[in-house]
Structure 1
């Protein structure tokens, strides 16, 4: 089977990367064996839950029946994602998995997809991000498994390259920031490039044809002392060109990708911001039907992101908090905008949620209405509402 190496910056089990996974899966033979390496997060108490969410994602969104296995022998498709790069390194080195992964790339066979923490191990050196960012260890490198060496790339790979979660402090470059990365670059062997893969972005290398593509929302950065080259999403080039850039050559100009190719779906964080703006505009209008629709669309997005195994900015928990806040504001409208004006849209929203089996959200809406002074009861003839004194503050 023709080989493929896919290196993702983040978003590996989110809607933004579905098309990348599907394109890789189309290369598989019927009945192909698909393996999930859970090593990077195996130390976490919720490891089984992370694996279950990932398996559901690949089954529902990609059409792959994935098994969790400790090794990659006999696997046509291999995936590994979030967690601790150094935890994965230690175990892959001692178990022989690191050598097996290198052998796959060297043989140019099989589909190998590494994302986030797992992708961090793919170069000749690895960022021990937990130890540096979480524990405060001195910036340093750990030896990587170097899947790039068989491809002629003398480089380290850094996912989450454009991370902006820090707000007031620099969390680019997988939470290192410019100060620490610049210091660490001086410790790399001469001629080593940094390949930075942005969040919700993939570097896709066809191991047979040596075609290279940047897919997703961001770009891939080739960084050397004194030079930085960014390949935006939609870029199609070759491995030889990537090697030239990594060796410090100017390379040949890469045509700008068409704007349509660069689009890869919005992140959940962007969806949250859009929902909040749409809700505020609808309430100001006032158009309570539109406000209710904004809540419903946000809830639908939360469902589609439920398999995401990473805790990026704008994660599912934050989206749920926003949804509960918007629902509470809908309930407040019952007390301020006139009950008869708002109940039609709100009951319609609740009915739609119940029809779709989304009872938790429907119940949250009923509780919000009660806080606003409206009691909704379900009867054989349909929902019935009455105005009641709002509950006293506790």
Structure 2
């Protein structure tokens, strides 16, 4: 079996991570056993729906048939994602899954993909994000399963490192913010580094060749004692280089990312960015007004909703937010169409007498006044064309 450890900051079942998943599964044998660990979100009432969406995502987008289970011994591919890190830790310790995960990495066999909450558990300590951010508990660490120790890394892992959902308050560093992270760093064992993985980003470690790559949209930050080094998207190094960075030295082997292509792939656009772009396109079309373009903006947003339907995490710019915007835009489209119809009816009542007046002026030889009236109508959005059958008019865009 190929040996691969993939740690994702977020977006694990979104279009942004499809290519990362495909690359991770490319070397799997035909009929490979793939297991989804639902433990981090197993306490949620909608656990079955989350699992079903994730399975559809891996089947349709990645081409991998996945079973939901708790036994991972002998599995070719194992995945776990969103939910509560501490809930997962407690259950994995009881069931032996924590030991099985460590054994996979120590043996350097199998593809292991941990994302979001599950990725939190991969270091020697874990951020209890639910308790701190959602319940208000005092910042503290929980013991992690330490998948990084067999790789010679003394580190904690923090996903959602560049999160910006807070707006006026700092939600970076997996919703901790700078103040709380700085305080918690001082409580770590001496020599421990922080590996921060941005959203829609993956740290891919080949356990056989020991090559390391940053894939996705963001970067990976190696932080220790207040000093940070960033491996940007596309950067490549090796475990030795990553260890040097974690120990406070220069990575040395890091390679800068290749030049960005002229147009970024559509899969790298987040749903949050799509929502914002659709709203801007719709607003510009309505201002014209161009009802066809406005309707197309709504249709394009609906197509993106279909692509993102499997997203199990739904952080900033989630599917529900996109649905709410689509309903709003449809309502606005109806209002705009109704207003356009009303304007058209009013114009018809006004244009008829104006055309009759212009015809009378032309019959009286007062062509200069008739031409001025035609120019005024054109400036107001009414195009007049003289034909053998009489004048015709239309609205200009």
The answer for the alignment partner of 1:55 in structure 2 is: 55
The answer for the alignment partner of 2:287 in structure 1 is: 284
The answer for the alignment partner of 1:95 in structure 2 is: 95
The answer for the alignment partner of 1:298 in structure 2 is: 301
What RMSD in Å do the two structures reach over aligned CA positions?
A: 1.5
Mapped contact 2:241–2:254 kept (Cα < 8 A): no
Shift of 1:139: 0.4
1:214 aligns with 2:217: no
The answer for the alignment partner of 1:317 in structure 2 is: 320
TM-score if structure 2 supplies the norm length? 0.84
The residue correspondences of 1:349-360 to structure 2 (distance < 5 A) are: none
Q: Deviation digits for residues 82-138 of structure 1, max 9, x if unmatched?
A: 000000000101111000000000000000000000000000000000011111111
The answer for the alignment partner of 1:120 in structure 2 is: 120
The residue correspondences of 1:25-174 to structure 2 (distance < 5 A) are: 25-174=25-174
Q: Which runs of 5+ in 2 are unaligned?
A: 345-397
SS in 2 for 1:196: strand
Shift of 1:286: 1.7
1:241 aligns with 2:215: no
The answer for the alignment partner of 2:270 in structure 1 is: 267
The answer for the alignment partner of 2:186 in structure 1 is: 186
The residue correspondences of 1:355-374 to structure 2 (distance < 5 A) are: none
Q: Deviation digits for residues 154-178 of structure 1, max 9, x if unmatched?
A: 0000000000011111000000000
Bigger Rg, which one: 2
Q: Distance in 1 between matches of 2:321 and 2:276?
A: 11
1:7 aligns with 2:40: no
Aligned residues: 342
Q: Deviation digits for residues 326-381 of structure 1, max 9, x if unmatched?
A: 0001100122112797xxxxxxxxxxxxxxxxxxxxxxxxxxxxxxxxxxxxxxxx
Task: Name the stretch that deviates more: 208-217 or 244-253.
Answer: 244-253
TM-score if structure 1 supplies the norm length? 0.85
Shift of 1:74: 1.8
Q: 1:303 to 1:340 in 2, by over 3 A?
A: farther
Q: Which runs of 5+ in 1 are unaligned?
A: 342-394
SS in 2 for 1:320: helix
In the TM superposition, structure 1's runs of 4+ consecutive aligned residues that sit over 6 Å from their partners are none
